[in-house]
Amino acid sequence: MKKVIVFITLAVLSANFIYGQDKRVVPINISYFGETLVHPGILIGYENTFYRSFNFTVSMGTYTHQRNHTGLFLDAGLNWRHTFPIGYSMEFGFGLGYLHTWANGGNIYTVDDAGDASIKQNYGRPHFMPSVKLGLLGWDFRNKTDIPLRLNADIIVFGRYPFNNFIMPHVALNVGGTYYLSF
């Protein structure tokens, strides 16, 4: 799994250099990632448009569900984005990722066969993280101005599997912007 993630990340990051463009543009996204709308987090990502309105994204983020768990994730996604001539944009996408969660509500205890309790080391839990993104509020300033910025507000539904042998659905509010660095 690690080799696949490393390969995908390198392929996406090197895509701008493969085409030999005169002006390289690197879109970097930074946004608030609020799991179930109120548990704060941050998301940092990169996107690469590969065919008209389609782009491939790689993002890394974290969120904190107070007195429950903290999640750290790496996600790769495929999105379709349509930008209207005035700059308004909307998008839809799906992704696959890895989520690792750690309990943050205090110590974790385990009870042995003799009935004695002891503190257990908190290594966290690995999870598969499928996701769906619905972005109905986006504004690309590049259409009408020289500002290399796109603002967005998206709803992301993601799953955490396994969770008690099932998938645990989560909803997140993703509000931020993409700055298009050019060099």
Strands (E), the chain: 25-35, 41-51, 54-65, 69-83, 88-103, 108-111, 117-120, 125-140, 149-163, 166-182
Residue-level pLDDT at 166: 94
pLDDT higher than threshold 70 for residue 141: yes
pLDDT at 176: 97
Question: What are the chain's domains?
Answer: 2-14+36-182 (2.40.160)
Torsion of CA 59, 129, 153, 35, to 10 degrees: -110
Distances (CA, A) of 146 to 63, 92, 140, 162: 33, 26, 11, 46
Q: How much is the pTM?
A: 0.82
Cα–Cα nearest to 174, from 63, 49, 25: 63
pLDDT interval class at 42 (50, 70, 90): very high
Three-state SS at 17: helix
Task: Report pLDDT for 17.
Answer: 53
User: For residue 50, what pLDDT band results from cuts at 50, 70 and 90?
Assistant: confident
The predicted-structure confidence for 77-134, as pLDDT tens digits, reads as follows 999 999 999 999 999 999 999 999 999 877 888 899 999 999 988 889 999 999 999 9
Beta bridge partners of 90: 82
Q: How far apart are CA 1 and CA 3, in angstroms?
A: 5
